[in-house]
Structure 1
Amino acid sequence: MSVRIAGVSRRFSGQAALDDVSLEVATGEFAALLGPSGSGKTTLLRVLAGLDFPDDGRIEIAGTDMARVPARERQVGVVFQHYALFRHMSVAENVAFGLKVRPRARRPDSAEINRRVRELLELVQIPELAARFPDQCSGGQRQRIALARALAIEPRLLLLDEPFAALDAVVRKEVRRWVRGLHDRLGITTILVTHDQEEALELADRVAVLERGRLAQFAAPATLLAEPATAFVAGFIGEACAIPARILHGRLDSPIPGLSTPAGWHDGAVRLFLRPHELLAEAGDGPALVRMIHPSLGAATRVVLELDGHTLEATVPPGAAVPERGGRAAIRASGAIAFAEDGMRARLVAGNLPAHASAP
């Protein structure tokens, strides 16, 4: 089932929580809404669920305008951050709740409800918990209960609102990978809301990055990392360090040596974004001060550097001398993404070869 969001805006006390947001999610796709607090992602999820309504724009689910369709009739399953399970009901009763409150004409009989509950608990791999109460279950188990309850109504669209935030790091990884596997088996169109970029990049087919209520970019994870559309996306996605630089007399003037000058750019301020693998460091009489060292078995050593008041993360290339904490390091860049004040962006490479430049 496809989802189309067209020019959606939502304001609270005159402030725009959503500002002309448009995107389309394909049938069976796993999409993520990613952004910092206040970016509008939860507001957009509430609008999709029918728990809130836009001031402008359209929400279409499977080609049907949802403007006048109440939440209970949208066939949308929602899993909330804190699960919202009924503490006085058993696990089985929680899962059955959405079926039991259906209008009589569409409500299955008791035998069918019990059969579906057993089937769902098997699906989420917790059949042994049917008689327990939520307080007798772990965080990961409660997450599975909430997901089973959302699936009980046979939703056309599944919305996940920060569903892993309450779990510890180890359980979070286990449960989110299990959720992706479940999605692949069921094929339900799924939209995840999260502020955790690792979570979004690992789970989603495409990620919508929101900034202050506007859509900054909607693309596959690899595209967001390699070709960010804006400086905000470049700094928010991945482990990029932002460094100010200038184009001066047609040449790149940067504290990071080794980068090409973007062809055709006018003189002015530039922001460079470098990933740790693009900034190379080694022990030597260089300009950077070593603040931290992250040794890793079977992987390149990474170091945290200070340069002209900026904190950078770099990689020590194979065979190079690893600098000591508190010592100096020589640095050079193998690549970067540059953004000019006028919105031009370019992928810079090592040396002085021309780099591709494009408008936003």
Structure 2
Amino acid sequence: MTVEAERITRRFGDAAALDGVDLAVREGELVALLGPSGSGKTTLLRVIAGLEGTDAGRLRIAGQDMAGVPARERGIGVVFQHYALFRHMKVADNIAFGLDVRPRATRPDRAAIADRVAALLDLVQIPELAQRYPDQLSGGQRQRVALARALAIEPRLLLLDEPFGALDALVRRDVRRWVRGLQERLGITTILVTHDQEEAMEMADRVAVMERGRIVQFDAPAALLEHPATPFVAGFIGDAAQLPCRIAGGVAHFDPLPIAPLPVSLADGPGTAFLRPAELLAEPGGSAVVRLLRPQGGGELHLVVEAAGQVLDARAAPGTRLARGDACHLVPRGGRVFPGAT
């Protein structure tokens, strides 16, 4: 199942929720739509699902133009953030709902529906919960029921709209890894909406980063980290400090910050650097001060350093000993620098 969006535009009054979006999802791929609130990711998901119209552009699913095709005929399973389970129905009835409401001509008989529900309960590993009501389930169990209900119609495409947002951190991590494993086993094309970059980077084959109704970069997680296309992507992905700099002679200078110069391949002028904590090494001596420290795995120290009135995250340079209150200076061992001030 492939998904191809071309120049999709959706406006609400004067505001463009989607502004000429292009997206191509490969068969069997898990793609994450990642961005801050208001970036258009949920609107795009709703357009693909057929729950939202468009003002311009074309959408094709498995090569078929979706213009005029209602949501119920698209063969798409959707899991929402709060699951939308029917509280008055037992788990088995919730899962069967999409089959029960089919037109008589395409509706399986009761025995076939029961067999399908039993198989799905086994697939999502909750067969013992068939006769419970949603209020009797944990958040992680409700999420599995919602996923089973979406799979009951044997969808060609699975859409997940912030499906882990209602779970606590530990359960969320375990459930998203389980969902990714299930998606791989089924080979079903999946699009995940999230504002959680850790979630997107861990689960997705590729991530579409959205800003103000546009996809500003669509790439593999590692490529987003190593080669961000815009300052927005560089700042949004990977928890980087955004620092003004001055580029002269192929070197970025950070004065008055006590940060050593960084070689760059940019023309002279103002610039903006994005440096992640692992790319800033703190060494003894200098005008910066260690304010906090936290041991990391492998003997690394995560430091919070105050420098020229700015607070930065860094790592202790290998072989150095630093304590709270020690003076230090910072040496970048990488980073991304863009021309111009932002």
1:265-306 Cα distance to aligned partner (Å, 9 max, x none): 032x21111111110013x33122222211134341110112
Q: CA deviation at 1:248?
A: 4.3
Match of 1:266 among 257, 265, 268: 268
Look up the equivalent residue of 1:121 and give its one-letter code. L
SS state at 1:294 partner:
strand
Distance in 1, matches of 2:28 and 2:200, equals 17
Q: Which moved more, 1:237-246 or 1:35-44?
A: 237-246
Give a deviation string over 1:52-82, Cα, whole Å, max 9, x none. Answer: 0111111110011111100000000000000
Shift of 1:150: 0.1
Counterparts of 1:249 and 1:149, CA distance in 2: 61
Counterpart in 1 of 2:198? 198
What is the distance in 2 between the residues matched to 1:322 and 1:166? 40
3-state secondary structure, aligned to 1:335? coil
Residues 202, 251 of structure 1: alpha-carbon distance in 2 compared, 3 angstrom cutoff: closer
Once the two structures are superposed, the pairs formed by residues 1-360 of structure 1 within 5 Å of their partners are 1-248=1-248, 251-254=251-254, 255=257, 257-267=259-269, 269-282=270-283, 284-324=284-324, 326-341=325-340
| Displacement of 1:3 | 0.3
Q: What is the deviation of 1:342?
A: 8.9
The CA deviation at 1:51 is 0.4
Q: Is the 8 A contact 2:266 2:339 kept in 1?
A: no
CA contact (8 A) 1:323 1:329 kept: no
**2:267 corresponds to which letter in structure 1?**
W
- Separation in structure 2 between the aligned mates of residue 177 and residue 264 of structure 1, nearest angstrom: 41
Q: Corresponding residue for 1:349?
A: none
| Cα distance between partner residues in 2 of 1:45 and 1:249 | 46
Question: Considering only aligned residues, what root-mean-square deviation do their CA atoms show, in Å?
Answer: 1.5
Q: Distance in 2 between matches of 1:78 and 1:177?
A: 18
Specify the SS of the correspondent of 1:83: coil
SS of 1:105's equivalent in the other structure is coil
Which secondary structure state, in structure 2, belongs to the residue aligned with residue 59 of structure 1?
A: strand
Gap change, CA 1:292 and 1:65, over 3 Å in 2:
same
Provide the rounded CA distance (Å) in 2 between the counterparts of 1:86 and 1:271.
Answer: 51
Once the two structures are superposed, residues 74-122 of structure 1 have per-residue CA deviations (whole angstroms, 9 ceiling, x without a partner) of 0000000000000000000000000000111110000000000000000
CA contact (8 A) 1:20 1:57 kept: yes
2:180 counterpart SS class: helix
TM-score by length of 2: 0.96
For residues 250 and 104 of structure 1, the distance between their equivalents in structure 2, rounded to whole angstroms, comes to 71
Q: Is contact 1:259-1:334 (8 Å) kept? A: no
Whether the aligned pair in 1 keeps the contact of 2:3 and 2:24 (CA below 8 Å) is yes
**Shift of residue 335 of structure 1?**
1.3
For residue 16 of structure 2, give the secondary structure of its aligned residue in structure 1: strand
How many Å apart are 1:252 and its aligned residue? 2.8
The alignment of Structure 1 onto Structure 2 pairs a total of residues equal to 340
What secondary structure does 2:199 align onto? helix
Cα distance in structure 1, aligned partners of 2:175 and 2:94: 20
Q: Identity over aligned residues, as a percent? A: 61
Deviates more, 1:251-260 or 1:196-205: 251-260
Of residues 286-295 and 231-240 in structure 1, the stretch that sits farther from structure 2 once superposed is 286-295
CA distance in 2, matches of 1:118, 1:275: 48
Distance 2:111 2:265 in 1: 71
Residue 193 of structure 1: CA displacement? 0.2
Q: Distance in 1 between matches of 2:273 and 2:258?
A: 9
Q: Hey, what's the Cα distance between the residues in 1 that align with 2:304 and 2:295?
A: 11
Normalised to the residue count of structure 1, the TM-score between the two structures is: 0.91
**Residues 253 and 260 in structure 2, CA contact (< 8 A), matched pair in contact too:** no
CA apart distance, 1:256: 5.4
Conserved in 2, the CA contact under 8 Å of 1:35 and 1:209? yes
Cα contact 1:31–1:192 (8 A) shared by 2: yes
Q: Post-superposition shift, 1:126?
A: 0.2
Q: Report the Cα offset of residue 251 of structure 1.
A: 4.7
What amino acid sits opposite 1:194 in the alignment?
A: T
Q: Distance in 2 between matches of 1:20 and 1:66?
A: 17
